[in-house]
Structure 1
């Protein structure tokens, strides 16, 4: 009932002009697996103890939480959705955006609130004439749930994005998805921006341009995010949804912690915060701790790059993004162009604020100007 009321209050009178095909696809990937130097948590006291260690003032010079890496080969089922404008009868000729979500969400972040929602990025993108391909990163949404200690790590998530992109480009991702003849862009959010950035650093030919939302390359304040979650064990925090999950899956405590991390008051609807809190997904300790091991030097990427974050982004800007995003420019020396934009009245959860449509307009204008 709560979800229906939310939908009616926000989306009355909206017109849906896109169509989507949902599917699962099997991907096989090879990537380094960093072996934890800590034992799997037996209880929440141990997860908080690790949090103490990795956020201590000497953490950068202390012992690594990992004892080395081994290469592993894994196969996953990935849940994805391909959307096109309803009016377009030749979707293969559309430019396409591959959308990668962040921590705490699944791919529904890109269609937040449903098809007719004012917060629905897919709706804005298809209205602008793009097709979109969104997917659930491993252990989120309808994708395979994996070991959060040894498999759900940044290199494995990056490998999944690389395979999805390659198979989409060669027309083998699924029978319902045509091989594209237009350009293929990557749009990421938060951790999804880390992966999109790493994609063009490791394999620049796979993308025709990237948009990195809710992101900067300054990690000074990531510890504040970690501390704010208190590494709550997801199986204890939400036993009805995640009671069967490993202790390596963690989350934040409640709606107020969600607000602290993702929202800028008073620039959001409290109903949006409540809805977001009931649709969260846990993240793995290891994917957070391996975020820095993927490549970031995108010296060979010559395509367009837009980095856009909310002015009050806590995680990547310490709640003030002015003068922060530009620091990434040396990592994209050949990008044409490299642009940054700070969206006013917006926290880390860019799609969840009143002016989400303004964020979408900046992104879509950038892509149109650089197509």
Structure 2
């Protein structure tokens, strides 16, 4: 019975799932508040500044985040290491349900760095890599959204505003509205609401359930472990430059938003050798989204300590995942992702699946691996 509350994942590159679907794009207003970290760091103004930031952030034995704490620069703050950020924002989202009507449960899908919500409904190759289609075929409804700060959601100041804390507050606000059937354009009400994350979206899902008891009926953390040891690999492999220099589609983002400079950076961080279609790699790069300095500075330390979440937990990570396993999740026994079991003492069900040969971008790999 417990396992039935978990989404049945069909991770990417599967044979096309023929399913009838009813989808609509939405703009959801939210009013939120969060305790953000107050950094004295200035947004890098040049690509040399970006490289200096990456090198300083990735230096072994140095806590650059702690060094960057300071009294200046945070919106609505004049001093101190923390600042309360309050605002009203718009969240771009897509809600889908089977043509037969609302599914048996609602999955809230939170994407990671370098993508927007299209990661879950990837359009290349006639949606053959669509997680949403796989979920709809199994009678789930889905709500995929652009994380606060990018895509069709509200953008913001990239150092002291668009940080993990404010984004988790946004996820909480969205979840609350969906549970209350209060999102304009969605008439359905759901008794079960599940959260599925990828990468940084999994970090936020973990944080959501740690902060808000009873907010979720089950979580799936993909492209995830609790280890922060390998984040420098991701930073250095990402070949980051200012987002507005990376692509004309990102020209509106101010300094402090970063993006990979070339397709090779996407390959290194998201695709394992031999298990991807080059067309999909190119599509992932062309449709890529930026990351803020504030996000990078606040993603560490979020998933430390115990999480009292009592529902079922499933972790699914590619064997060759770079940012969360350093390229080999099976280097230890139990695997690096499986070690998170110790952090969920109250969970009703816990399992970890390592997808053989897969990289970090699980939805986009050429591996048939039904779960």
Q: Which residue of 2 aligns with 1:287?
A: 295
CA distance in structure 1 between the partners assigned to 2:286 and 2:201 by the alignment: 21
Q: Which residue of 1 aligns with 2:69?
A: 66
Q: Is the 8 A contact 2:109 2:196 kept in 1?
A: yes
Q: Is the 8 A contact 2:16 2:128 kept in 1?
A: no
CA distance in structure 1 between the partners assigned to 2:310 and 2:119 by the alignment: 29
Q: Is the 8 A contact 1:21 1:176 kept in 2?
A: no
CA distance in structure 1 between the partners assigned to 2:69 and 2:262 by the alignment: 29
CA distance in structure 2 between the partners assigned to 1:62 and 1:81 by the alignment: 34
Q: Is the 8 A contact 2:269 2:323 kept in 1?
A: yes
Q: Is the 8 A contact 1:202 1:298 kept in 2?
A: no
2:180 aligns with one of 160, 163, 170: 170
1:77 aligns with one of 86, 90, 97: 90
CA shift at 1:63, angstroms?
4.4
CA distance in structure 2 between the partners assigned to 1:230 and 1:149 by the alignment: 19
In structure 1, stretches of 5+ residues that fail to align are 1-9, 363-371
CA shift at 1:60, angstroms?
2.8
- Give the superposed CA RMSD: 2.0
Q: Deviations over 1:62-101 (max 9, x none)?
A: 8422221111101111011111111x23x1x621110000
CA distance in structure 2 between the partners assigned to 1:250 and 1:325 by the alignment: 27
Q: Is the 8 A contact 2:106 2:192 kept in 1?
A: yes
CA shift in 2, pair 1:50/1:131, >3 Å:
same
Q: How does 1:207-356 map to 2 (within 5 A)?
A: 207-238=216-247, 240-292=248-300, 294=302, 296-322=304-330, 323-355=335-367
CA shift in 2, pair 1:292/1:13, >3 Å:
closer
CA shift at 1:267, angstroms?
0.6
CA shift in 2, pair 1:281/1:16, >3 Å:
same
CA distance in structure 2 between the partners assigned to 1:169 and 1:154 by the alignment: 22
Q: Is the 8 A contact 1:30 1:74 kept in 2?
A: yes
CA shift in 2, pair 1:45/1:26, >3 Å:
same
Q: Count the aligned residue pairs.
A: 345
CA shift at 1:37, angstroms?
1.9
Q: Is the 8 A contact 1:221 1:316 kept in 2?
A: yes
- Of 48-57 and 269-278, more deviation after overlay is shown by 48-57
Q: Is the 8 A contact 2:34 2:86 kept in 1?
A: yes
In structure 2, stretches of 5+ residues that fail to align are 1-12, 71-80
Question: Which has the larger share of helix?
Answer: 1
Q: Is the 8 A contact 1:312 1:345 kept in 2?
A: yes
Q: Is the 8 A contact 2:28 2:184 kept in 1?
A: yes
Q: Which residue of 2 aligns with 1:107?
A: 117
CA shift at 1:242, angstroms?
1.9
Q: Which residue of 2 aligns with 1:48?
A: 51
Three-state SS of the structure 2 residue aligned to 1:123 is: helix
CA shift at 1:260, angstroms?
0.4
- Of 53-62 and 188-197, more deviation after overlay is shown by 53-62
CA distance in structure 2 between the partners assigned to 1:320 and 1:167 by the alignment: 39
CA distance in structure 2 between the partners assigned to 1:237 and 1:116 by the alignment: 26
1:22 aligns with one of 15, 25, 29: 25
Q: Is the 8 A contact 2:15 2:128 kept in 1?
A: no
Q: Is the 8 A contact 1:16 1:115 kept in 2?
A: no
CA shift at 1:337, angstroms?
0.8
CA shift in 2, pair 1:298/1:22, >3 Å:
farther
TM-score, length-scaled by structure 1 = 0.88
CA distance in structure 2 between the partners assigned to 1:186 and 1:12 by the alignment: 24
CA shift at 1:298, angstroms?
4.6
